[in-house]
Amino acid sequence: MSTESQGGKMLVQKLLQRVSMLACPKCHSRNMTIRQVLRYCTSSPSNAPIYKLKSRGIVRVKGPDTLSFLQGLVTSDVESLGSVMGVQYSMLLNVQGRVLYDLLLYDVAQIFGEKAVFVECDRNMAQQLITDIKKYKIRKKVSLEDVSDSHSVYATVSDKGGHLIELASATVETQDPRVPDFGLRIISDKELAGVVEDESGYHESRLQWGIPEGPQDLPPGNCFPLESNLVFMNGVSFSKGCYLGQELTARTHHTGVTRKHVMPLIFEKPPGDIESGESIRNEKNKNVGKFRSSCRAFGLGLMRTNEVAGELYVTSKTGDTVKLKTVIPNWWPESS
């Protein structure tokens, strides 16, 4: 028997041992059937591709008051950035506690010789982000600049974020803080060689893992951070001081149960165009969620987590009924 055949046989044996709660080796989802795992998951390549994420931009916040300025705005504990960790996931909320921007914060003080943070966000929203947070600048000693044209965002996607491409020119190279096993995040002020310009492969993997990103997945002013898995992705501190939208977020966390969450969707076939916010229904035609986005045969939806068992359906813009299922990502806390 060839090494490849032996490897395939061993994989099937492992899957059979976990038939009651299968864990997808690529997207880390559980409660999948053997057919789904074998169909949708393949072993990671030894050369994990590096995707250039043209959809992501960088806002540089620099100056003596950088950390204290951001601390009063976003959900994460920015004061620990640099001393405890070099990168954080975070969100900027409105005063009603709804999501405006999903952010990645990078400590780049060593690069600039003073306190400085790169704020990664959706590129099309970078200028609006600057406009929004400038309202709170008052007398803070900080400068804000969109550096998306001079600094590019890259990402790898693999089980452990491994790659074999030389990154000597990278300004920042770090594990993705949302789900560390998902891959690497890279920022560079130089063009990296050998990268994949089409970022759809990155988004397909991200959707399989159930990681929301950008305004399609997180409609500005229309979704709540805890339903968007902010706690699961280590993007909020419940012990730091006040920040925009804190009251509702903290109250929901401490006294309420979050009954809806953004979850990965697996379509029976690539669904075509679906209206964002389109209802997802179960076999009894009950509304159990809302569609957010998709790439090929995978997507995200805001789902009622206790009502998503079995086959689900969504209607495309052309009126076609598309069959789908949802799974619970393995990286979620067991109590969720």
Q: What is the pLDDT of residues 4-18, one digit of tens each?
A: 444 444 433 433 333
The DSSP code for 15 is H
Q: Which two tokens stand for residue 282?
A: 């179960």
Count of the separate structural domains present in the chain: 2
User: Could you say which of 164, 189, 209 is where a domain stops?
Assistant: 209
Q: Are residues 127 and 29 in the same domain?
A: no
SS3 label, residue 66? helix
Instruction: Read off the amino acid at residue 83.
Output: S
Q: Are residues 7 and 90 in the same domain?
A: no
pLDDT at 194: 87
Task: Please state the φ and ψ torsions of residue 78, each to the nearest 5 degrees.
Answer: -65, -25
- Beta carbons of 101 and 121 less than 8 angstroms apart: yes
Burial environment of residue 9 by CB neighbours within 10 A (0 to 12, 13 to 18, 19 or more): exposed
Q: Are residues 84 and 12 in the same domain?
A: no
Q: Are residues 33 and 60 in the same domain?
A: no
Domain range for 55: 50-209
Q: Are residues 36 and 130 in the same domain?
A: no
- Beta carbons of 331 and 177 less than 8 angstroms apart: no
User: Could you say which of 159, 178, 209 is where a domain stops?
Assistant: 209
Q: Are residues 20 and 92 in the same domain?
A: no
Residue 196, domain member (yes or no): yes
Q: Are residues 25 and 150 in the same domain?
A: no
Q: Are residues 17 and 93 in the same domain?
A: no
pLDDT at 180: 84
185-229 pLDDT, tens digit per residue, is 999 999 988 899 999 999 999 999 999 999 999 999 999 999 999
Q: Are residues 83 and 196 in the same domain?
A: yes
Q: Are residues 10 and 67 in the same domain?
A: no
pLDDT at 45: 39
Instruction: Read off the amino acid at residue 9.
Output: K
Residue 185, domain member (yes or no): yes
Residue 69, domain member (yes or no): yes
Residue with tokens 């028997």: 1
The DSSP code for 305 is G
CATH assignment of the domain containing 75: 3.30.70.1400
Q: Which residues contact 288 (CB under 8 A, 6 or more apart)?
A: 280, 281, 282, 303, 304, 307, 308, 312
Residue 234, domain member (yes or no): no
User: Could you say which of 178, 209, 240 is where a domain stops?
Assistant: 209
- Low pLDDT (below 50) residues in the chain: 1-46, 161-165
H or E element at residue 35? helix 34-40
Residue 328, domain member (yes or no): no
pLDDT at 159: 52
Q: Are residues 56 and 192 in the same domain?
A: yes
Residue 277, domain member (yes or no): no
State the virtual CA torsion across 192, 196, 199, 203 in degrees, nearest 10.
Answer: -100
Residue 99, domain member (yes or no): yes
Residue 147, domain member (yes or no): yes
Q: Are residues 33 and 65 in the same domain?
A: no
